[in-house]
Amino acid sequence: MGTIQLLRDARSARDWCAETRAAGHSLGLVPTMGALHAGHASLVEAATRENDRVVVSVFVNPLQFDDPSDLEKYPRDFEGDAELLAEAGADMVFTDDLQGFFAEVPGATVDSIPRVDPGPAAAGLEGAHRNGHFEGVATIVARLFELTEPTRAYFGEKDYQQTLVVEHVARGLGFPEIRVVETSREADGLARSSRNTLLDAAGRERAISLSRALFAARELFRSGERHPLNLRAELLRHLEGVEVDYAEVRDPEAWSAERPVHLQGRARALVAARVGAVRLIDNLALDDLGKC
Ligand code: AMP
């Protein structure tokens, strides 16, 4: 296991990154909310393959939660996270509180921090179901980029709409390169998520229906089906025992809040559903044209 530096304030993290860059090292950044699992480790491993040094941020960002109880019960385990990150090859992990990340806003609160524009991909689906979510994501991601000035930053395909938002933020700043890492899944297909630890045994069983629905829609797409409504019906047919927030298909290259009338080349199915009190999301490329 490698050694990892633990920093508990944003200012020290900024200095560490500045020194690393000044020494001529390329720097990979992996932003996370902690409660880390093998999915996060796969991002860190991808980052270690492409960069001299890898830094991970852990911050349960209150700006991106529209539901206070969801924020409250989000799992937290900084020491455990550091162990997993050392194992995966990260060089430094840092955290801070809202005031530490936004030190230029005196007594910063969720309401007083100016938001960064998340761009057109924030429209619809997660953006429609979680008020202000992507503004909160864009704001913290821009701040993490400014603090660490990474060469590359790594995000999971699991949060597909988020990757489009993050690409918009990076285009605006002119850096870093954004890398999207394939979704890591349990053996039965369930996408790994920090929230899975909140599921009881019955909920864990029901949660499988999300990935099952996505893989069924991909089969249908591969058999030639291109009508979004028929693909959506296939998703819904498999989403059993969960409360569906949305089950939709989008063209990732022509993102819109509305369902496309027809699909030609690229297609991605995206689902969000509540299993009891736990909200889960997942998505899958239906076409074989993209990398992720
Ligand atoms: P989170 O801690 O949930 O904010 O996730 C931090 C990063 O890890 C995000 O870029 C996520 O998309 C990514 N991530 C979370 N779960 C997975 C997974 N199962 N596979 C790949 N990446 C993931």
Q: Is the CB of 155 under 6 A from ligand 1?
A: yes
Pick the residue whose CA is nearest to atom 10 on ligand 1.
Answer: 155
Q: Quote the pTM value.
A: 0.97
Rounded Cα–Cα distance for residues 229 and 270 (Å): 13
What pLDDT was estimated at residue 71?
92
Q: Of 83, 69, 85, give the one whose Cα is nearest residue 32.
A: 85
Please give the helix or strand (H or E) that residue 216 lies within, else none: helix 201-222
Contact call for residues 115 and 136 (beta carbons, < 8 A): yes
Contact call for residues 163 and 44 (beta carbons, < 8 A): no
Q: Is the CB of 82 under 6 A from ligand 1?
A: no
What pLDDT was estimated at residue 123?
96
Q: Is the CB of 211 under 6 A from ligand 1?
A: no
pLDDT exceeding 90 applies to what percent of the chain?
94
What pLDDT was estimated at residue 2?
76
What pLDDT was estimated at residue 264?
83
Say what angle helices 133-148 and 160-173 make with each other, to 10 degrees: 50
Catalytic positions, please?
40
Tokens of 73: 């019960």
Spacing, Cα 223 to ligand 1 middle (Å): 30
* Terminal alpha carbon distance of the chain: 30
What pLDDT was estimated at residue 291?
60
DSSP 251: -
Spacing, Cα 47 to ligand 1 middle (Å): 14
Low-confidence stretches of the chain (pLDDT beneath 50): none
Give Dmax (Cα) for the chain.
57
